[in-house]
Chain A
Amino acid sequence: MSIALNAPGTSQLFIGNEAIARGALEAGIGFAAAYPGTPSSEIIGSLAQVAKDVGIYVEWSVNEKVAVEAAAGVSFAGIRALAAMKQNGVNVACDFLSNLVMSGIGKRGLVLIVCDDPSAISSSNEQDTRPVAKWLDIPLVEPGDFQEAKDMTRWLFDLSEELGTICMLRSVTRIAHARGNVKLGELPQIRHKAFFDQVHDLSNLMPTRYIPVPSPVRHLFQHMRLNRAKEKFETVPFNRYVGPRNPELLIVTCGSCWLYSLDAVKALKIDDRVGILKLGTLWPLPEKFIQDHVANAEKILFVEEIDPFLEQNVVEFIASLPSIGRLPAFYGKRSGHLNAYGELNPDTVIKAICSIMNLTYQPRPVDFSSRAESFKKSHVPERSMTFCPGCPHRATFWAIKNALKLDGRNGFVTGDIGCYSMAIGPAGFMQVRTMHCMGAGAGIANGLGKLGQFGFDQPVLAVVGDSTFYHATIPALVNGIYNKSNFILVILDNSATAMTGFQPHPGTGMTAMGEPTDVVSMEALCRALGAKVEVCDPFDLKSTTATLLDMMAQGGGAKVVIMRRECELVRSKKQQAPYRVCVDEKKCIGESCGCDRLCTRVFLCPGLIWDKKAGKAKIDDVICTGCGVCADICPRGAIVKEAR
Chain B
Amino acid sequence: MRTKGRWKDPLNLVITGVGGQGNVLISLVVGKALVDAGYFVTIGETYGASQRGGPVMSHVRISKDTQYSPFIPDGFADIVLGMEPVETLRMLSRYGNPSVVTIVNPRPIYSIDVTGGQASYPDLDELMSAIRQLSAKVWVVNATEEAQKMGSAMFANSVLIGALVASKVMPLDKERVELVLRETFPKEIDANILAFRKGMELAKLE
List chain A positions with a Cβ less than 8 A from chain B: 1, 11-13, 38-39, 121-122, 145-147, 174, 177-181, 256, 259-260, 262-264, 267, 345-347, 350, 363-365, 368-369, 371-373, 375-376, 378-388, 419, 422, 426-427, 499-500, 597, 600-602, 604, 606, 608-610, 620, 622-623
User: Do residues B75 and A364 form an inter-chain contact, with CB atoms below 8 A?
Assistant: yes
User: Do residues A609 and B54 form an inter-chain contact, with CB atoms below 8 A?
Assistant: no
Report Cα–Cα, A372/B88, bound state, in Å: 12
Residues of B with C-beta under 8 A to A38: 48-49
Which of A180, A264, A363, A609 interacts with B110 by CB under 8 Å? A609
Which of B52, B67, B117, B120 interacts with A419 by CB under 8 Å? B52
Which of A121, A346, A368, A609 interacts with B73 by CB under 8 Å? A346
Report Cα–Cα, A178/B98, bound state, in Å: 28
User: Do residues B73 and A263 form an inter-chain contact, with CB atoms below 8 A?
Assistant: yes
**Most chain B CB atoms below 10 A, which of A345, A375, A378:** A375
User: Do residues A177 and B45 form an inter-chain contact, with CB atoms below 8 A?
Assistant: yes
Q: Known contacts being A181-B67, A600-B116, is A13 close to B35, with CB within 8 Å?
A: yes
Which of B40, B93, B111, B183 interacts with A381 by CB under 8 Å? B111
Closest 9 CB pairs of A and B: A122-B48, A259-B69, A363-B75, A381-B119, A178-B70, A383-B111, A376-B93, A179-B43, A364-B75
User: Do residues A385 and B52 form an inter-chain contact, with CB atoms below 8 A?
Assistant: yes
Q: Give the distance to chain A from B72, nearest Cβ to Cβ, in Å.
A: 8
List chain B positions with a Cβ less than 8 A from chain A: 18-20, 27-28, 31-32, 35, 40-50, 52-55, 66-71, 73-76, 86-87, 89-90, 92-94, 96-98, 107, 109-122, 126-127, 130, 133-134, 144, 148, 153, 183
**Most chain B CB atoms below 10 A, which of A39, A181, A267, A388:** A181
User: Do residues B48 and A383 form an inter-chain contact, with CB atoms below 8 A?
Assistant: no
Q: Give the distance to chain B from A262, nearest Cβ to Cβ, in Å.
A: 7
User: Do residues B109 and A384 form an inter-chain contact, with CB atoms below 8 A?
Assistant: no
Residues of A with C-beta under 8 A to B86: 379-381, 383
Which of B18, B44, B115 interacts with A604 by CB under 8 Å? B115
Residues of B with C-beta under 8 A to A364: 75, 96-98
Query: Could you list some 17 contacts between A and B, CB below 8 A?
Result: A1-B183, A145-B67, A178-B44, A264-B73, A369-B75, A372-B134, A375-B92, A376-B90, A376-B94, A380-B89, A385-B19, A385-B53, A385-B54, A499-B48, A500-B48, A610-B114, A623-B109
User: Do residues B114 and A347 form an inter-chain contact, with CB atoms below 8 A?
Assistant: no
User: Do residues A388 and B53 form an inter-chain contact, with CB atoms below 8 A?
Assistant: yes
Q: Known contacts being A259-B69, A604-B116, is A179 close to B122, with CB within 8 Å?
A: no
A-B pair count, CB < 8 Å, reads 210
Residues of B with C-beta under 8 A to A600: 115-117
Residues of A with C-beta under 8 A to B20: 388
**Most chain B CB atoms below 10 A, which of A39, A388, A597, A606:** A606
Q: Give the distance to chain A from B48, nearest Cβ to Cβ, in Å.
A: 3
User: Do residues B75 and A622 form an inter-chain contact, with CB atoms below 8 A?
Assistant: no
Q: Give the distance to chain A from B131, nearest Cβ to Cβ, in Å.
A: 9
Report Cα–Cα, A12/B115, bound state, in Å: 43
Q: Known contacts being A363-B97, A383-B54, A385-B52, is A372 close to B44, with CB within 8 Å?
A: no
Which chain A residue lies CB-closest to B55?
A383
User: Do residues A383 and B70 form an inter-chain contact, with CB atoms below 8 A?
Assistant: no
Residues of A with C-beta under 8 A to B110: 606, 609-610, 620
If A383-B86, A604-B112 are given as contacts, then 19 extra A-B residue pairs at C-beta distance below 8 Å, sorted by A number, are A38-B49, A39-B48, A121-B46, A122-B49, A147-B67, A174-B71, A178-B42, A178-B44, A178-B70, A179-B31, A179-B41, A264-B73, A363-B75, A363-B76, A368-B98, A371-B133, A382-B113, A385-B49, A610-B114
User: Do residues B116 and A121 form an inter-chain contact, with CB atoms below 8 A?
Assistant: no
User: Do residues B113 and A259 form an inter-chain contact, with CB atoms below 8 A?
Assistant: no
**Most chain B CB atoms below 10 A, which of A346, A350, A422:** A346
Residues of B with C-beta under 8 A to A372: 92-94, 96, 134
Which of A378, A426, A597 interacts with B112 by CB under 8 Å? A426
User: Do residues A384 and B113 form an inter-chain contact, with CB atoms below 8 A?
Assistant: yes
Which of A347, A375, A422 interacts with B130 by CB under 8 Å? A375
Which of A122, A267, A380, A609 interacts with B93 by CB under 8 Å? A380
User: Do residues B117 and A146 form an inter-chain contact, with CB atoms below 8 A?
Assistant: no
User: Do residues A382 and B111 form an inter-chain contact, with CB atoms below 8 A?
Assistant: yes
Which of A13, A179, A345, A608 interacts with B71 by CB under 8 Å? A345
User: Do residues A371 and B97 form an inter-chain contact, with CB atoms below 8 A?
Assistant: no
Residues of B with C-beta under 8 A to A383: 18, 53-55, 86-87, 111, 113
Report Cα–Cα, A622/B71, bound state, in Å: 31
Which chain B residue lies CB-closest to A144?
B67
Residues of A with C-beta under 8 A to B74: 347, 363
Residues of B with C-beta under 8 A to A426: 112, 116
Q: Known contacts being A368-B96, A372-B92, A385-B53, is A378 close to B68, with CB within 8 Å?
A: no
